[in-house]
Structure 1
Amino acid sequence: MDNPFTPPEARPDSALLEPDRAGLGGVRLRAVRGLRSAWGAPVLRQLTRFTGVGIVCTLSSLALYALCRPFLGAQSANAVALIVTSLMNTALNRRYTFKVRGPGRLAQDHVNGLVALAVALVLTGGSLEALHWANPSADVTAELWTTTVAGWVATAVRFSLLRHWIFRRARDA
């Protein structure tokens, strides 16, 4: 058992949730300090901002897909939605997730972002093809769920590409 007089910041991580003589308030305080120190890790800050950008882009992509689907068909609607939101995604992640500002390497960043777009198109287009092979009468709702799940996989690939290749110069933003 830890010495109850040891300051919380000097205790091991396992002690963050152990009650002491300070009661529940002390446990809460140590938990908050632990979260603050975890938030100090650049990758966690980036993942949080990346998630916010991803939510905006996913909702935009789903809306564009649903709007374009009746006129263009599944694959073309998917491509249009991904191309438009990929440009938006790269711009938002450049600015907010990785804190890259200014015109320097803007064009190169977007060209590199096309690789992430290609990965997303292969994953979502392939998933749509698999859906229509398995269920030729699939409706738009099934298509949206299928592209969303495939998009989650593409998102993990996108974060890795953005962090380790495209914006590696700003990795610790």
Structure 2
Amino acid sequence: MYALADYIKTELINGVEYDMSPANIQHIRIQRRLTMIIGNFLQGKKCEVFAEAEVRLSPIDHLIPDLCIVCEPSQVKDSHIEGAPDFVVEVLSPSTRRKDITVKKDTYERFGVKEYWIINPKEECIEVYRLNEQGCYYLDNLYQNFTPDEWERLTDEQKAEQNLSLKISLYDELEIQVKDIFEM
């Protein structure tokens, strides 16, 4: 109980403060796995991955995404990221779900984050949003993790429609297996 009393993390979105609760273990595992996969791939490359770094989009918009990629080194300051990352991931939690899929998504879109992933641990699915030429997000694809039993119940046609791996638009050669994100 004492650790929670000392836990103070706040986001500022459009001038409104939002307190953040500590993440649950499933959330932390997903975040860690994805950070490791992407971080290993980015070794020696220009872009860098950050977990829970403060991102200052404007004086009234300071967010803390679960994970982000920044490809412009000048944006990386000692205490925060200055400006929009190229890529952002939010892992849904019961306490942040509504904010992540509405307010934060709209804010990332408004500031030009090129790609936004919403990971739902409970449903084991990932929504991938990308910016179009007009600067608006569109749902590029939905990725689902399947248990062996769920997979066996699908028809051959349904199996053919599934995408079991996904790529970050920044790097076509980085292919991530959906199951690797949710693997326990």
TM-score range (shorter-chain normalised) is under 0.3
Compute the TM-score of the two structures, normalised by the length of structure 1: 0.25
Pick the structure with greater CA Rg: 1
More helix per residue: 1 or 2? 1
